[in-house]
A = this chain, B = another copy of it.
C-alpha cells in the first residue's frame, strides 16, 4: 500500500495494533474514520484521551473508575463480607450482568504467569491481603479463569489467604448451561460428574 498517504497508513497501523484487529479490519475502520464528520472524529479522538486520562484504579478494589472509590465499593447496600477475586475489570462486568452477586470485588489486573515473567508482585496481591486482614471479610471467592495461569493464581492466593482466617472458595467447574454433552471435553465432564449435586 505504498500509494497510501502517511497519515492514513499511520491510522491503519494504530487500529491494527489493537487486540483482535487485523490489517483488513484496521483498513476498514480507518476508512470509516475518514468518512466521519469533523465533530465525530474529534469526539472519537477525545474519548480515547479522556478515558485514558480520567480512568484510574479504585483505591479499594482496583477496578476501573473515574473517582477515588468505585461505585461498587462505595455502595453501602452490598455485602462487604465477601470478595470475588478476578483477573480483569471485564470479569467484574460479567459478574454484574448476572445480577445475582451482591458482594465486592478485587481486580488483580493479570494472572501469575512465570512464562511471561509476571509474578505476584506485578499484581494487586498486597492490596488484597491488606483488605482481607483489615476488613470484615469472611469469604474470598477465587474467580480467575479456568486456565493454567488462573488455577495457579487461585492456589497461590488461597495459600496466602487461609492463614488470615477467611474461607477461600473457587468457582464451580461443570457443564455450561445450554451446552451439548456430546461436545463437552473430558476434563469438564469429569469435573461435572465429580461435583454432582443431589436433586
**Chain A interface residues toward B at CB < 8 A:** 1-8, 10-11, 13-14, 18-21, 25, 27-34, 36, 38, 41-55, 64-67, 70-72, 88-90, 92-93, 96
Contact = CB atoms under 8 A, between A and B. Distances in A.
A86 B81 CA distance: 64
A49 B45 contact: yes
A131 to B, nearest CB: 18
A165 B174 CA distance: 73
Contacts of A44: 14, 48
15 contacts: A3-B70, A3-B96, A5-B54, A7-B51, A7-B54, A11-B47, A11-B50, A14-B47, A14-B48, A18-B29, A28-B90, A34-B52, A41-B49, A41-B52, A44-B48
Given A34-B51, A36-B52, A49-B42, A64 B5 contact: yes
Contacts of A38: 52
A72 B33 CA distance: 23
Contacts of A51: 7-8, 10-11, 30, 33-34
A44 B7 CA distance: 12
